[in-house]
A and B are shown apart, each in its own frame.
Chain A
Amino acid sequence: ARLCVCDLLVAQCDVNCCCDADCSPQEFSLFTACSVPLVRGDSHLCRQKAAVYSLDVEANPPERTLQLIDQVNPSIFCIHATNYKQALYLRSPEMPTPENFDDLLNEFGSSAFSAEPENVDTDPPDANETQRYEYGLPIQTQDAFLRLPSPVVSSWCSDANPAGFLVNQATKCIRSVSVERCESIQALNMQFYINSSILAFVFQVNISVQSIAVQSLEGTRTALKGADGLRLPLVLDDLCLNVVLGVSYHITYTDTGEIIEAAAAFVLGAITKETLSVQQSFQISFTQVDTKPAPLSGNPGYVVGLPVRAGFGPRGYPFPAEFLTSRHSQLSILQSTPSQDCLAAQAARAPVLFGHNMISGCKLRITAAMKCQPLAQTLLDVLKGQSFPEYVASFGNSQAQDVLDWVPITHLHISEQGISNTLQSSCQIPVSFGIEVKWTKYGTLVNPQARIVNVTATLTTTTLQQLPSGRERTIPITSSVVFTDISSPAEPGYKAWPTINIKLPYDFFYPFV
């Protein structure tokens, strides 16, 4: 039956196939001819049995006749015997069983089948090399990838967008909803976003719920205190509550590329019967472990208009600790107020923005009763601010741990005083504070990045002259910030002039030289 080449349909009768075992005599009577008259094994065999089929059209109804004959191959090179099973017949594939599965996998598992099962000869991937995430690699979770639904082509959400490592993304997309199905739509369910744990190669990191904010139908958001558990969608009257409107992932990573923590902050809302679609917003951000995420003022060069980043230097030489960049150590400048009184309560301070030169000031009313020393200290506080930083970041994205990326602030002290008073060590009050920031263009000519090279803070003081009692004076106090571009002009470089390399052959003038 295996040798019948016209038997193509399984369990069905093939037309005009006389050797088909699935045909009944009635079906044979409908045939017109036998497409395969002789059925035998390999033609090379010396001696074999063959079946000859013929259709007897004389009889009514026509019937198929079968005759077994001995076929002899007269050639001297006919196969007398063979010890190789696959030589003459197609071997039917083995059914996989638990015993032979490994062998079958070795033999047929690769892209090319081998005659004998061979050992896998590719080296196993180097354990040290691939066990970490690199920029842009999709973050793997237990089932496929960490998804960040995003609009593809149209604004409708597509769940197939994987989040890339270290790629901060924020997407918004629309999803169609209905109150009846809101419990069954997976994407509206908090569980869908924190279900699978992230594979960090060494261990698995579960996504924890960082915070939940609830948004009312009008749009006001309130943070739920102490909300750690899951809040699943709930149908109540005509509303469906606890529908996910926004997810914000925060992934913490180490500098070796391992993910050690993952948290998700949710915004849950409610939908009404009339709502046909909701807009969901998704965001993912990456923070290196043991660093506080500081907003970058440029990447890497400073961007005009963003605040200059500053901090305090490492303490305890020679054990440098990290820089402290907190909000209180912003480089700031006195902000002029309408009242213009320096001693008024808590003058506001404005952050120093890169590229923006600023000048501000106030008026100081000096009375006779004022003592110099406390006045000088107060003025210093007014001009410099509460915590004047010691170091300024040279690039907009300088990390606090890179000590060499920070520029120290040089302080200059100019005291205006007449020559006649040089011998007196009288008290000086600061009257002017100027910060000069020298920056340069760094990098390529087509994409120059701004880099702060030098920061000088100049404090100008003057002697406080004693006033006769009852009189008062007003002196202006100024503070300023100036940004100077000290980048050297780019020098064009020329390629070398082409030289013509002509040399006469040695024996050009042979007969004469």
Chain B
Amino acid sequence: RILNSSSQLSSLPLQILFYVNGIYYIFYFLATLAMIVYKSQVFSYPDDFLAPDLAVLFLMAVLEVPRLYLGCKGNLREEEGALGLSLGLTVGSVVLSVYLLAWQTYVLWADVVLTAVLLCAYGLESGLKVTAIAAFVS
């Protein structure tokens, strides 16, 4: 089988985006964690406000791993099931990052920038996944 774009259904942009997303997410996670530590030192950050913020951040990290893995697998094997599951997990990640953007206790300007970039990546990913699923199914 010759690998060319006509018979290959896997989306290359999506694959690139997965890699970039993975690397960016590691950076995002460490940066946000560092900023939460900074906020807790500089501002008044009581425990019952700190706990939800940290929980959301770690939950997002936990979700990210299967999301990217399933996405990669689904895309490479041209399986729409895995890709669909990854899309579902993306929705969850989007919700959590919206929380971090808007409902965190202290939203710093850096928070806004980083999370906005992440949301853009998620949005682009979701679009490409839908396209890929459509291609696989049909």
Residues of A at under 8 Å CB distance from B? 44, 46, 75-84, 86-87, 115-116
For window 81-128 of B, CB contacts with A under 8 Å fall at: 102-113
- Give me 15 other A-B pairs in contact (C-beta within 8 A), A44-B43, A83-B103, A84-B105 excluded: A46-B109, A75-B109, A76-B110, A77-B35, A77-B108, A77-B109, A78-B108, A79-B106, A80-B111, A80-B112, A84-B44, A84-B106, A87-B43, A87-B106, A115-B48
Evaluate contact between B112 and A82: CB separation under 8 angstroms. Answer: no
**Complex CA–CA separation, A172 to B92 (angstroms):** 85
Residues of chain A with a CB closer than 8 A to B113's CB:
76
Residues of chain B touching chain A, judged by Cβ–Cβ distance below 8 Å, are 35, 38, 42-44, 46-49, 102-113
Contacts of A84 in B (CB 8 A): 44, 49, 105-106
* Residues B109 and A76 in contact, CB atoms below 8 Å apart: yes
Contact B109 A87 (CB under 8 A): no
- Nearest residue (CB) in B for A73 is B109
Q: How far does the Cβ of B19 sit from chain A's closest Cβ, in whole Å?
A: 27
A82 B109 Cβ-Cβ under 8 A:
no
Please classify the interface of chain B as helix (H, G, I), strand (E, B), loop, or mixed, using the class held by over half of its residues. Answer: helix
How far apart are A35's CB and chain B's nearest CB, in angstroms? Answer: 27
A213 to B102: give the CA distance in the assembly, Å: 85
Q: In the bound complex, do residue B102 and residue A81 qualify as a contact, i.e. CB atoms below 8 Å apart? A: yes
Nearest neighbor of B53 in chain A, beta-carbon distance: A83
Please report the C-alpha to C-alpha distance between residue A46 and residue B104 in the assembled complex, in whole angstroms: 16
B28 to chain A, nearest CB (A): 15
Write the chain B residue with the least CB distance to A82.
Answer: B106
In the bound complex, do residue A77 and residue B103 qualify as a contact, i.e. CB atoms below 8 Å apart?
no
Output the least CB separation between B62 and chain A (Å): 23
What is the distance, in angstroms, from B84's C-beta to the closest C-beta of chain A? 34
Q: Taking A86-B44, A116-B48 as contacts, is the C-beta distance between A79 and B104 under 8 angstroms?
A: no
* Residue numbers in B under 8 Å from A115 (CB-CB): 46-48
Cβ B38 vs Cβ A77 within 8 A: yes
| B44 engages A80 (CB within 8 Å) | no
Q: Contact: B103 with A79, CB < 8 Å?
A: no
Are the CB atoms of B48 and A80 closer together than 8 Å?
A: no
- Tell me how far the C-beta of A488 lies from the nearest C-beta in chain B, rounded to whole angstroms: 72
B94 to chain A, nearest CB (A): 19
Return chain A residues, CB-CB under 8 Å to B35: 77
Report the nearest B residue to A78, measured CB to CB. Answer: B109
Cα A87 to Cα B110 in complex, Å, equals 19
Residue of A nearest to B102 (CB): A81
Q: Given A77-B35, A77-B38, A115-B46 in contact, is the A83-B109 Cβ separation under 8 Å?
A: no
- How far does the alpha carbon of A86 sit from the alpha carbon of B43 in the complex, in Å? 11
| Residues of A with C-beta under 8 A to B111 | 80
